[in-house]
Chain A
Amino acid sequence: MAPKMTKAASLSLAAVLASMSLLSACSSNSNSDAGNAGSGGGSASAGTASSPAASGKQVTLKVELFDRGNSPSPYTITNSYLTKYIQDNFGTPNNIKMEFVPVPRSEEIKKLNVLMASGSDVPDIVFTYDSATFNRYAQQGGLTDLTDLLNEHGSNLKAFLGEDTLAYGNFEGKQLAIPGKRSILGKYASFIRTDWLDALGMKVPTTTQELYDTLKAFKEKDPGKTGGKVIPYGMTIEPAQYDPLIWSFIQPTTDEQRFTLTQKLGSNEYPTLLPGFKDALQFFNKLYNEGLISKDFGLDKDKKQMTQDVQNGVVGFLTEDYPNLYYAEGTYENLLKTVPTAKLDPVDVLTNSEGKHAKPEYAPNGMYIMIPKSSERAAEAVKYLDWMAQTENMLALQNGVEGENYEMKDGIPIVKTDAPQDVIDRIYNYGDIVILANGKFTGDEEKNKQAFAAGFPPAYQENLRKALDISVADTFKPVLIDRPIEAESKYGTALQDKYEEMIVKAATAKPANFESAYESALKDYMQSGGQAIQDERTKVYQETK
C-alpha cells in the first residue's frame, strides 16, 4: 500500500506544480489579449464602429454571459473566438474594453439577485428568461429606461426587433428591457411509429378518438414485438409531453375567459381554470389506468426515461418539442441503431372540440435584456446591442467564418457539419453570445426555418421540416398583458409545482377517486395563489377593457 500512496502523493504534487505554471501562463495570456486585438476574425464590417478611439479614453462594458461549463479547449468562457471577435470588431474600434462576466446557467437568477442587491459591480448588460424577475426589477425601480437611448443609438436594433417584440420589454409605458427575438415560434409536434401502423394495417390517426383506438391496438397487439414492454403513449411530467394533450381539450373561449382564466406561471401559460381542463385530466386518468401511458411518468422530470424508452423502440406515440428527436446522435438516430426498421414520423393528431389541432406557440420574445440603473455605460450597452443586431454581424456571430464554418446557398447559411472540430468550436456558444436572438436569423421566417433545418443531419431534415410545419399549424399565441400580474411573480414558481402535482394526482387516481383527487388538488392550487392570480387578472381585465 505504502509505495502506491507515495506515487499518488507525488502525482498530486506534480499536478500542483503543473497548475502553478499554468496559473502564470494563463494570467500572462489574458494580459496579452488586448494586444492581440485586430489580428483575429475581421471579415465583417465594423458597422457603427466607424470612429475609432474618438473620445480618447477607453471604457469598460461588462456583459453577462451564461456559462454552461462546455467551453471546448483551448477556449474559456471569457476568452473564446467569439469574445475576441466582438472585442476586435466592436470593442476596439469604439475604444471599449469588453468584459464578459460568466454566470452559471443554472444559478443565473440567484446570482443576478445577489449582484443586484449588492449594488455595485453589476454588469452593464444583464438578462434573464424569467419574466417574474424582470417584473420585480422593473417594479423596484432598478432598471434604466431605454426609450431615448434606443432612439439615439438603436436604429438597427429597433428595425431588427420590430414593435411587436419590443412591446414585451415595455413596463408601464417605459422601455425597461430589450426583449430577444425568437426566430421560430413553433413549440410542439406529435410523433408516431408509422412502421407499427403499417404492421397493423392501420391509418395514421387524425383525431384524438382515433389516436385512442390506435393506442389500444398498440397495447393489445404489440406490433413492435416488445414482449409486453410496449408504452403506447410516451409521457413525462414535462410541458412538452403534457401540454399538447391538455391544451387540445380546452374548449373555444371568449377573450375574457382567455384573459382571466389562464395562468401564466414562469414563462408558460397554463389553462388551469379554462373550460375543458378537467376533461383533459379525466382523459389523462383513463389513459393511465388503461396502461396506455408511461407508468412512471410522474417521476420523469427530465424526459430521461421516456427518451430511453423511445430509443429502445417501445414507445408508439409521443409529443415533443418539435426538433428534439432529430439532432445528430439524438433520440431518432439511436432508435434506428436499436430498431433499424423503425419509422418515427411527425403527425398532427390531437384535436379539440372544433376538430382543430390547437396548440400553443411561443411568444415572439426571447430573454429580457436589461441595463441596471446603476450602470454608467447604458449608451455603450445599447450601441453594442445595435451592433449585434446588424445583419452581417449577426451572421458572423451565429455562423462563424464563411467558407470554413458555413457556405452561403440562396441567401441561407448552410453549416458545414464536416468542418474540423476546432473550426466548429469557434461558435460553440453562439446562442449565448447572441442574446438578441433565439435561434438563427437569416432574413424572413421561411429562410430562418430553412437555415435551422440545414443544421440537422441530411437524412432527418425532411422529417424535421414536417415537424416544424406541424408545430406552427393551428397555433394560438400567449396573451400579452401590458402590466405585470403581481400574484404571478409571487406564486408562479410554487404554482408550477402544484400544477404538475395536480396532473399527477388526478391522472394516477383510481377512476372512482378521480373526482375527489381532482377537487382536492385544485383546492390546494387555488389556495396556494391560483385564486390570487385569477382575482388580479379579472381586475386588470375590467380596468383595461
Chain B
Amino acid sequence: MNERTSNRIFDTVNVILITIFVLICLAPFFHILAISLSSNRAVMSGDVTLLPIELDWNAYRSVLSDMSMIHSLGFTVFLTLLTTVLCMIMTIAAAYPLTHTKLKGRKVFMFIIVVTMFFSGGIIPEYILVKNLHLLNTVWALVLPGLISPFYLIILISFFNGIPKSLVEAAEIDGSSQLGTLVRIILPLSLPVIATLSLFYAVGRWNGFQDTLLYITKTELYPLQLKLYQLVQNNMISDLTQNEGPSAMAATPESLKAASVVFATVPILLVYPWLQRYFVSGVMLGAVKG
C-alpha cells in the first residue's frame, strides 16, 4: 500500500466520520424545526421526530406578529454588538501588557486576575453593587459586570505570546511605540483568535439571561433569551400546578416554544460562518514568518 492510497483511505474515513457527527449534531435542530411546524396534537402525542407532521405555520405567524419579539430581537442584536466590541477592547487592552515578561508587577496583576476566576462575592453583593452604581434597568447592567472574562483573557495572552518576539523587537528598533506595535503588528497577526473570542463574547451575551432575571424589570430591555427562557421554563416548575391549581395558565403550545427557539437561535448561528473568513489568515502569518 503506497502513500497515496493510504492518504486516500485516511481522507475517506475522516470525511465519513465527520459526516456522521455532523448528522448527529443536526438532528436535534431538525427536531425542533419539525416541532415548530407541526400541529399541537402531533407534538403532544410525541409523533414528531425529524419531519413536521400535519404542517402548521401558525407558530411562526404568531412569533413574527408579536411586536415584542421583534423588538426584543433588535435590542438583543444591539446589546450583543455593544458587549462584544467593549469586551474585546478591554480584553486586548489587558492582554497585551501582560505578555511583556519584563513588565514590573505583571505577576501580581496576573494573580489578581486568576483569583477572580474562582472567588466571587455572590449574587447579593453583586446586585447591591449594580444598584448602587445606578445601573439597574439600563443596558449597562448587562454589559459592564462581564467586561473581561479572565478565561478569555488568558487565552488571548497565550496567543499573543505565540507571536515571534523577533517581530516585536524589530518594530521597536524601528522606533514604534508600544501602542503602535500592538495596532500594526500584533492585532493583524491575531485576527483568528480575535474573531474567536469575539464569537465567544457575542454568543455568551446572546445566550445569557441569568443577569437579566435580576437586573432588568423594564420590558423594553428584555433580551430574546429571557423571553425564551420564560416561555420554555416557566411552565416547567414542578410544583406549579400543585400550588396554582386551576388558576395556572394554559401551557404555551410546544410548537410556539419551538418556533421561538428557532427565531432566537438562527441569528446568532449566522455569526460563525461570517467570522470564518478570519480563520484563513494563517497564510499571512506564514508569509510574515518566512
A contacts, CB < 8 Å to B: 1, 5, 8-9, 12, 15-20, 22-23, 26-27, 67-74, 76-79, 101-107, 110-111, 113-114, 117-121, 129, 182-184, 187, 238-240, 266-268, 301-302, 305, 307-308, 311-312, 321, 323-324, 327-329, 331, 334, 337-338, 362, 366-367, 428-429, 431-432, 437-439, 452
- Judged by a CB distance under 8 angstroms, whether B67 is at the interface is yes
- Judged by a CB distance under 8 angstroms, whether B71 is at the interface is yes
**Residue-by-residue, is B198-235 near A (CB-CB < 8 Å gives 1, otherwise 0)?**
00000000000000011001011000001111110111
Note all chain A residues with C-beta closer than 8 A to B136: 121
Q: Which of A22, A74, A329 contacts B74 (CB 8 A)?
A: A22
A307 and B46 alpha carbons, distance in the complex (Å)? 9
- Judged by a CB distance under 8 angstroms, whether B41 is at the interface is yes
- Which A-chain residue is minimally distant from B248 (CB atoms)? A431
Contacting pair A106 B233 (CB below 8 A) = yes
How many Å from the CB of A367 to the closest CB on chain B?
8
Note all chain A residues with C-beta closer than 8 A to B123: 110, 114
How many Å from the CB of B130 to the closest CB on chain A?
9
Contacting pair A19 B75 (CB below 8 A) = yes
Contacting pair A439 B246 (CB below 8 A) = yes
- Which A-chain residue is minimally distant from B237 (CB atoms)? A106
- Judged by a CB distance under 8 angstroms, whether B249 is at the interface is yes
A328 and B250 alpha carbons, distance in the complex (Å)? 9
Contacting pair A8 B236 (CB below 8 A) = no
13 more A-B residue pairs beyond the given contacts A16-B77, A19-B77, A308-B44, with a C-beta to C-beta distance below 8 A: A23-B71, A68-B234, A70-B231, A101-B217, A105-B230, A106-B229, A106-B237, A110-B123, A305-B46, A367-B243, A428-B249, A437-B247, A439-B245
Note all chain B residues with C-beta closer than 8 A to A106: 229-230, 233-234, 236-237
Contacting pair A117 B236 (CB below 8 A) = no
Q: Which of B45, B75, B127, B231 contacts A334 (CB 8 A)?
A: B45
Q: Which of B65, B227, B239, B250 contacts A69 (CB 8 A)?
A: B227
- Judged by a CB distance under 8 angstroms, whether B108 is at the interface is no
Contacting pair A111 B243 (CB below 8 A) = no
Note all chain B residues with C-beta closer than 8 A to A239: 242
Contacting pair B245 A362 (CB below 8 A) = yes
A113 and B123 alpha carbons, distance in the complex (Å)? 10
Determine chain B's interface SS by DSSP, over half rule.
helix
Can you pick out 16 interface pairs between chain A and chain B where the beta carbons lie within 8 Å of each other? Answer: A5-B270, A16-B77, A22-B67, A23-B74, A23-B75, A106-B236, A106-B237, A107-B213, A110-B213, A184-B246, A302-B238, A307-B44, A334-B40, A334-B41, A439-B245, A439-B246
Q: Which of B77, B220, B227 contacts A27 (CB 8 A)?
A: B220
Contacting pair A324 B241 (CB below 8 A) = yes
- Which B-chain residue is minimally distant from A77 (CB atoms)? B219
A110 and B122 alpha carbons, distance in the complex (Å)? 12
Note all chain A residues with C-beta closer than 8 A to B73: 15, 19
How many Å from the CB of B246 to the closest CB on chain A?
5
Residues A327 and B234 in contact in the complex (CB < 8 Å), given A19-B78, A438-B244: no
- Judged by a CB distance under 8 angstroms, whether B170 is at the interface is no
A307 and B251 alpha carbons, distance in the complex (Å)? 13
Contacting pair A104 B220 (CB below 8 A) = no
Note all chain B residues with C-beta closer than 8 A to A331: 44
- Which B-chain residue is minimally distant from A1 (CB atoms)? B273
A379 and B215 alpha carbons, distance in the complex (Å)? 28
- Judged by a CB distance under 8 angstroms, whether B68 is at the interface is yes
A429 and B238 alpha carbons, distance in the complex (Å)? 20
A119 and B66 alpha carbons, distance in the complex (Å)? 36
Which residues of B233-290 are within 8 A (CB) of A?
233-250, 252-253, 267, 270, 273-274
- Judged by a CB distance under 8 angstroms, whether B124 is at the interface is yes
- Which A-chain residue is minimally distant from B127 (CB atoms)? A114
- Judged by a CB distance under 8 angstroms, whether B70 is at the interface is yes
- Which B-chain residue is minimally distant from A23 (CB atoms)? B220
Contacting pair A338 B65 (CB below 8 A) = no
Contacting pair B247 A104 (CB below 8 A) = no
- Which B-chain residue is minimally distant from A331 (CB atoms)? B44
- Which B-chain residue is minimally distant from A333 (CB atoms)? B41
- Which B-chain residue is minimally distant from A438 (CB atoms)? B247
How many Å from the CB of B227 to the closest CB on chain A?
5
Contacting pair B245 A121 (CB below 8 A) = no
Note all chain A residues with C-beta closer than 8 A to B127: 114, 117-118
- Judged by a CB distance under 8 angstroms, whether B131 is at the interface is yes
Contacting pair A308 B245 (CB below 8 A) = no
A27 and B75 alpha carbons, distance in the complex (Å)? 14
Note all chain A residues with C-beta closer than 8 A to B217: 101-103
Contacting pair B238 A111 (CB below 8 A) = no
Residues A104 and B229 in contact in the complex (CB < 8 Å), given A70-B252, A184-B245: yes
Which residues of B94-111 are within 8 A (CB) of A?
none
A438 and B46 alpha carbons, distance in the complex (Å)? 32
A183 and B244 alpha carbons, distance in the complex (Å)? 11
Residues A302 and B236 in contact in the complex (CB < 8 Å), given A23-B220, A117-B124, A321-B241: yes
- Judged by a CB distance under 8 angstroms, whether B128 is at the interface is yes
A1 and B275 alpha carbons, distance in the complex (Å)? 12
- Which A-chain residue is minimally distant from B136 (CB atoms)? A121
Contacting pair A16 B230 (CB below 8 A) = no
Residues A19 and B250 in contact in the complex (CB < 8 Å), given A26-B220, A70-B231, A77-B219: no
Residues A19 and B71 in contact in the complex (CB < 8 Å), given A68-B234, A69-B227: yes
Note all chain A residues with C-beta closer than 8 A to B44: 307-308, 311, 331, 334
Contacting pair A337 B128 (CB below 8 A) = no
Q: Which of B214, B219, B229, B239 contacts A114 (CB 8 A)?
A: B214
- Which B-chain residue is minimally distant from A66 (CB atoms)? B234
How many Å from the CB of A299 to the closest CB on chain B?
14
**Residue-by-residue, is B29-48 near A (CB-CB < 8 Å gives 1, otherwise 0)?**
00000000000110011100
A429 and B247 alpha carbons, distance in the complex (Å)? 10
Note all chain A residues with C-beta closer than 8 A to B242: 239-240, 267-268, 321
Note all chain B residues with C-beta closer than 8 A to A103: 217
Residues A431 and B249 in contact in the complex (CB < 8 Å), given A110-B213, A121-B131, A312-B46: yes
